[in-house]
Amino acid sequence: MKKGDLVKGRVTSIKPYGAFVKINEETDGLIHISEISDGFVRSVEDFINVGDVIDLIVLGFNKDNKVSLSYKKAQLNRKKKYQQIDLKSGFKPLEEKLPSWIAEYSKGKN
């Protein structure tokens, strides 16, 4: 395991400053409250609960081999999946408006 890796961990306890996670038998880590979400986090339990198995990004290691983890960065990776978008009007409005925009711009240049 190294910095930047995506890992799974089970939330073992939650404190006001973050959540403790067990990644495997030898490795424990902490998700600091600032790494839960980019938005305001009133309570860690609003996002995760004890017993949840969640995806996390490894931020680094301390001298006791404890792992610093990010929940919000793992969620960003998940949101980047392809989504189908059906455009109803396409470029038709642009095609209709462009001549008037060009004429208006040309008037301002003179």
Q: What is the CATH classification number for the domain harbouring 81?
A: 2.40.50.140
How far apart, in whole angstroms, are the C-alpha atoms of residue 96 and residue 104? 14
Neighbour-count burial for 86-106, b at 16+ CB within 10 Å, e otherwise: eeeeeeeeeeeeeeeeeeeee
Span of 13-27, 47-61, 64-78 with lowest mean pLDDT: 64-78
Q: Residue 46 has what DSSP assignment? A: G
| Percent of the chain's residues with pLDDT above 70 | 84
Per-residue pLDDT reduced to its tens digit, 25-50: 888 999 999 999 988 989 999 999 99
Domain membership flag for residue 1? no
Range of the domain at 37: 6-109
Beta bridge partners of 43: none
- Nearest one of 80, 60, 78, 62 to 70, comparing CA atoms: 60
- Whole-structure pTM value: 0.66
Domain membership flag for residue 79? yes
Q: What's the total number of domains in the chain?
A: 1
Which amino acid is present at 92? K
User: Residue 87's pLDDT is what?
Assistant: 62
User: Residue 88's pLDDT is what?
Assistant: 66
